[in-house]
Copies of this chain bind each other. A is one copy, B any other.
């Protein structure tokens, strides 16, 4: 990690520690849902029912089928071509190991779920990471700090021109 990235991470962590943001969010929801390190992002309720933005295929070695879904604000922004995405936008990427269909040879389909990745837009809270907070979950539990340190670096390097979001709305 570069010195600047280290400073950015520390800057993000400080308010969370000082003001207990993560703890408050969990308490407010009345649940003990785990939150991602650095960002304090939780798996949003009901995301599996959200509207599809687009499916994707990730090559080997991951070899995953994926689907990004969005909350109402996300879908509205996509349909109106609104950039940057407004505060309150939430995107969730579901991923599954790719498996050959037993019934139809030319098709491959979702096998076991692998990760669920969340992006939450809050331009004030996440000012140093393009306005986005990220969470990467495996079996409902957040991945470690090191994995979360990679999120914004990749988004910034490759998707800056689309408000740090890779996924486009499938027509």
Taking Cβ atoms with an 8 Å cutoff, the residues of A that contact B are 48-52, 54-59, 62, 65-67, 69, 75, 94, 96, 98, 101, 103-104, 106-110, 112-113, 158-159, 162, 166-168, 170-171
List 11 A-B pairs, Cβ < 8 Å. Answer: A56-B110, A57-B57, A57-B107, A57-B108, A57-B109, A59-B107, A67-B67, A101-B166, A104-B166, A107-B166, A109-B168
Task: Please report the C-alpha to C-alpha distance between residue A16 and residue B108 in the assembled complex, in whole angstroms.
Answer: 36
CB–CB A51/B54 < 8 A: no
Nearest chain B residue, comparing its CB with the CB of A59? B106
* A171 and B104 contact, Cβ closer than 8 Å, known pairs A55-B65, A56-B109, A57-B65: no
CB–CB A171/B98 < 8 A: no
CB–CB B57/A170 < 8 A: no
A92 to chain B, nearest CB (A): 11
Task: Please report the C-alpha to C-alpha distance between residue A32 and residue B168 in the assembled complex, in whole angstroms.
Answer: 31
Task: Please report the C-alpha to C-alpha distance between residue A65 and residue B67 in the assembled complex, in whole angstroms.
Answer: 11
Contacts of A94 in B (CB 8 A): 170
